[in-house]
Amino acid sequence: MKIYCISEGELTLLENGKSRIITCDRIKNYIDTVTKMRQRDEWKTTGKGAKFMGVEAREYETGNRMLYLRSVCECGGKLLYSTFIDGMGGMYLKDSDSGDETYIFANKEFDVTDVYADSGKCVIVAGLGNYERHIGIADLDNGGVNQLTEGFTSETHPFISKADSNKIYYTAMGYARDNVGNVVEKSPCSICCYDESTGELDDVIADDNFDYIKPMDDKDGNLYYIKREYQPTKKKSNLLMDILLFPVRIIKAIGGFLSVFSMAFGGEPLRTGGNNPSKTRNPDEREIFVEGNMIKAQKMLDDNSEEGIIPSGWELIKNENGNETVLKKGVMDYCITDDGEIVYSDGGFVRIIHKDGKTEKLCKIKLANSLTVI
């Protein structure tokens, strides 16, 4: 069994308790090309002559390298991965043993953010603009895409059902606009199912208070997903309380500014025995953006840490005939093997839940997602 994932923008193989970066030819070739172009034009923008003429260095479009690699999945014993580079989306098939790659398609119409293949077909999520993302079936022979869903929604994490290959589970999230068309809020994430045999689309699980993401099922029809508390973009405010607390907040703001000023130039707080903010702040606390949510990772990875960084409120659920069972807390991503074992990431480690319920640590790796097993 080989386990692959994406960690910090790199395709990574996990084996024997260690992680090893696997080269994606599309990304490597692009970076090599840009590097050569920069070196080729360097002479035009360096030296006294260029400085005298006011020639500035040309900026090459490289974007954010961490976002080049979008998603990866297993496809017929090979790796299928998607990229978005220099405004162009693409899909490529990579032999996990030889490293050979096959081009599927590349165009400026689609930003393929999710891919999943099974039962002889491939389902993708194609981004259209800043908000809309829709489910489609991709033809890996000719690169064609048949879009299945539409509307002002964001659909992610497609999964071809193990119990019925005609059904495609996915996460759906809608948007609310104001009277001039600006997006002002996002809805809770729900789980939907598209049935190719009938063309019907059904809501499977939805709740105003929770997000349900990354649905999967097993051969017995049991549904799995990650459940977390819904976090609206804008929190409701209490106008009366805000008015009453306004003077207090102003005084605290002035006091805070004076305290920082005193610490910066005098090295001491205003009050004797007062706390030094720079000393009391936990250096390990950091906010990170994971799966559309900003979370506070209170225990970042260090050499001795054995814990993940995803909040315990992110629960991996098994839903059996409507009865929910919490399998693990603090889960960022997961996948189910053909043997019924569950490989999951807690943001700090990749672990496996064996069929007997015991959990084993496989590898220490930061923010592993798009988990794939061959």
Number of continuous H segments (helices) and E segments (strands) in the chain: 4, 27
> In the predicted model, is pLDDT for residue 65 greater than 60?
yes
For residue range 364-373, what is the model confidence (pLDDT) as tens digits? Answer: 999 999 999 9
At 263, the pLDDT band (50, 70, 90 cuts) reads low
For residue range 17-27, what is the model confidence (pLDDT) as tens digits? Answer: 999 999 999 88
pLDDT at 112: 92
> In the predicted model, is pLDDT for residue 5 greater than 70?
yes
Tell me the two tokens of residue 161: 């059902």
Residue 9 lies in a domain: no
> In the predicted model, is pLDDT for residue 336 greater than 70?
yes
More confident residue, 42 or 169: 169
The mean pLDDT value of the chain amounts to 83
Residue 323 lies in a domain: yes
The residues, ordered by sequence, that sit 6+ positions from 337 with a Cβ below 8 Å of its Cβ are 1, 343, 373
For residue range 225-247, what is the model confidence (pLDDT) as tens digits? Answer: 999 999 887 655 555 666 766 67
For residue range 187-219, what is the model confidence (pLDDT) as tens digits? Answer: 999 999 999 999 999 999 999 999 999 999 999
Residue 344 lies in a domain: yes
Residue 251 lies in a domain: no
**3-state helix vs strand vs coil in the chain, percent to 5:** 15, 45, 40
Q: Maximum CA pair distance of the chain?
A: 76
pLDDT at 285: 43
At 352, the pLDDT band (50, 70, 90 cuts) reads very high
State mean pLDDT over 261-283.
51
Alpha carbon distances (Å) from 291 to 53, 149, 314: 48, 21, 11
Percent of the chain with pLDDT over 70: 75
Dihedrals φ, ψ of 168, to 5°?
Answer: -125, 115
pLDDT at 299: 53
pLDDT at 87: 82
For the chain, the domain total comes to 1
State mean pLDDT over 32-42.
78
pLDDT at 272: 55
100-126 per-residue burial string, b: 16 or more CB within 10 A, e: under 16: ebeebbbeeebbbbbbbbbeebbbbbb
State mean pLDDT over 60-75.
78
Percent of the chain with pLDDT over 90: 53
Tell me the two tokens of residue 307: 């814990």
From CA 316, how far away is CA 331, in angstroms rounded?
A: 6
User: Among 45-59, 150-164, 188-202, 204-218, which is the least confidently predicted range?
Assistant: 45-59
Unique residue bearing structure tokens 């030889």: 98
For residue range 299-308, what is the model confidence (pLDDT) as tens digits? Answer: 554 556 678 8
The arrangement of strands across the sheet holding 315-320 comes to: 210-217, 223-229, 315-320, 323-329
From CA 367, how far away is CA 9, in angstroms rounded?
A: 10
Q: How many CB atoms lie within 10 A of CB 338?
A: 10
Residue 20 lies in a domain: no
Does residue 168 contact residue 188 with C-beta atoms inside 8 Å? no
**CA angle at residue 265 from 260 to 267, to 5 degrees?**
80
What is the domain extent for residue 315? 69-234+307-373
CATH code, domain with 193 = 2.120.10.30
SS3 42: helix
State mean pLDDT over 174-186.
87
| Strand 3-7 with 210-217, pairing | unpaired
For residue range 123-146, what is the model confidence (pLDDT) as tens digits? Answer: 999 887 778 999 999 999 988 899
Q: Closest Cα partner for 317 from 231, 170, 217, 230?
A: 217
Write out the DSSP string of 226-269.
Answer: EEEE---SS----HHHHHHHHHHHHHHHHHHHHHHHHHHHHSS-
Residue 275 lies in a domain: no
Residue 211 lies in a domain: yes
